[in-house]
Structure 1
Amino acid sequence: MNKEIKAIVFDVGGVLYEESMIPAYKQLSKIFNFDLKEFERVKAKYYDLAHTGKISAYKYPYALADELKIKDKKRFVTLWFKSGKKLLQPNKKVIKLLIKLRKDYDIATLTNITKIHDKIRKQKGIYKNFDLVLVSCREGIKKPDLAFYRLLIKRLSLHPRQIVFIDDQEKYLKPAKNLGIRTIAFKNNAQLIKDLRKQGVKT
């Protein structure tokens, strides 16, 4: 056991919960007849604004519908939010592991999310097992902005080497590494447990 490690930080979507919107995007493209490449281009324009709380989660899909020239905007937005509510499929083994780890470590999350999906997570009790919750739309910054990781270090009141950060996307792990935070790229449950033990985390 590595006694230096004091906190374990989890991403939510892709680690603790399956949260991919890709199947929903494909379904919406068939219903409203828009090109997925064009959709990705338009989405990228508003993604940062929505995930840092600069525009509301309600304005986000309306802005997309406007630029994609979708006639039935109301229906598009309704289906958009319905898709979001169906997203959260729990990774029960990792959630069980998180609860066990909480006996010995501070447990935090560092996550990018819009206000509406943050609200859904709260309603479903997803944050209840965390000692610290850092959400992009509340803080006005997001991964991979270095300021978000610095805020994590500050709120935990720890040295970077005392923190282990778990995410399924390498682009979000790189800034953490640059600040000296220990990182684990999540691929599957067995690999996560193996990598935690390599770091000296008691599982």
Structure 2
Amino acid sequence: MTKKKAVIFDIGGVIITPPQSGIMKYGKSLGLPSNFLEGVMVMGGDDNAFRRMERGELTRTEFCSEYKKEVEKAAKEMNINLLSTFDPDILYENMGASCTVVLPMINAILALRKHGYTICILTNNSIDDTTALNNNSNRSFYSLLHLLKHISHHVIESCRVGIRKPSPDIYQLACDTMGIQPSEAVFLDDIGSNLKSAKKMGIQTIKVVDTTKALQDLKDATGINVFEEQFPPAVSPDKIVHSYVTTKAGHRIHYVDMGEGPVVLCVHGFPECWFAWRYQILPLVLAGYRVIVPDMLGYGDSSSPPEIEKYTQQQLCESIISLLDALSNYYIFGLLMLRIISCIPIGP
């Protein structure tokens, strides 16, 4: 058997729990037959709204409009009473809300990477043109993508490359991107048709039905103990999202922001910047927190006013309050963590 050099991970149903449960839950709330809404997503072959969205031919907003027409047509043809309250946007939100991160899979990625395996995330997804501040599913998914970019080598999104699974072209693209032959890769997915297409190319496949069983198969395929607990790496400045707000005093505050859940605000001391927290960000994110780390006034990419009176304790606290006020579209609460001196260990 060819020695494996890379592992390809699907997202939905592998790294996060299957979004189908959210579809079924929403359909049930409307009194629709089981699997009706999911069934419409596969009707019409490659030209239906769902598959066009995953190839990037439709944005999320455009998909919702087209998909609603398809659902209404299918309901009429099948003599199903479709309530006027059916809303594809709510369906989309339910899909996102039903998903949680499968931490053992994240740990497996870290273990494989530690032992020299190339990691590729390969997902069928969509271009979300809704406003992130008003769309929790948008923020949650892209927050996950940011996390995955830190712990993997490559992330391939169907909507960005115009190809979706199970097309053999997307698997070939993944192999070419990693510089390997298909026989040198292992692929994990929860959908049989995706695995079947990859297997025909010579990729070793693992169907994820039970996470523990799939990880044991992955251990057998790679020879790596993917169950051994790993510590997440430091975040990379070029991969994390950098944002800015302007305070009431007219100062610009730079901050990084990752994750979902209760907020942990990490404040650096003298003479540092947000980067001092690089080893703590990913562990906190994986523990279920949204982590916000600013550059304090006078540091990093934040404003550095020349007046010494701008750096009083009151002024510094007001700048942090202004940052939180600017992010008040989310309900911010949680633990305030203060890093006061530079000699506190920052490594794992």
| TM-score normalised by L of structure 1 | 0.84
Q: Is the 8 A contact 1:34 1:68 kept in 2?
A: no
Who wins on radius of gyration, i.e. which is larger? 2
Contact 2:50-2:67 at 8 Å conserved across structures = no
Q: Which runs of 5+ in 2 are unaligned?
A: 43-47, 73-81, 129-136, 226-348
- Corresponding residue of 1:193: 215
Runs of 5+ unmatched residues, structure 1: none
| Gap change, CA 1:190 and 1:67, over 3 Å in 2 | closer
* Matched residue SS, 1:15: coil
1:140 aligns to what? 162
Structure having greater relative contact order (Cα 8 Å, sep ≥ 6): 1
Separation of aligned partners in 2, 1:4 and 1:79: 45
Q: Which moved more, 1:155-164 or 1:187-196?
A: 187-196
Aligned partner letter, 1:112: N
Aligned to 2:283: none
Q: Alignment RMSD, CA only?
A: 2.7
Deviations 1:72-123 (A, max 9, x none): 68x7144134224313301111111211211121111111112227764222
Which one of the candidate residues 46, 51, 76 is aligned to 1:48? 51
Deviating beyond 6 angstroms after TM superposition, the runs of 4 or more aligned structure 1 residues are none
Give the C-alpha shift of residue 202 in structure 1.
1.2
- Counterparts of residues 42-191 of structure 1 (less than 5 Å): 42-44=40-42, 45-69=48-72, 76-104=87-115, 105-116=117-128, 120-124=140-144, 125-128=146-149, 129-191=151-213
Of the structure 1 ranges 119-128 and 85-94, higher mean CA displacement relative to structure 2 is found in 119-128
Q: What percentage of aligned pairs have identical amino acids?
A: 23
Cα distance in 1 for residues equivalent to 2:189 and 2:113: 18
More helix by share: 1
Kindly state the Cα deviation for residue 68 of structure 1 after the two structures are TM-superposed: 3.7
User: SS of 1:17's equivalent?
Assistant: coil
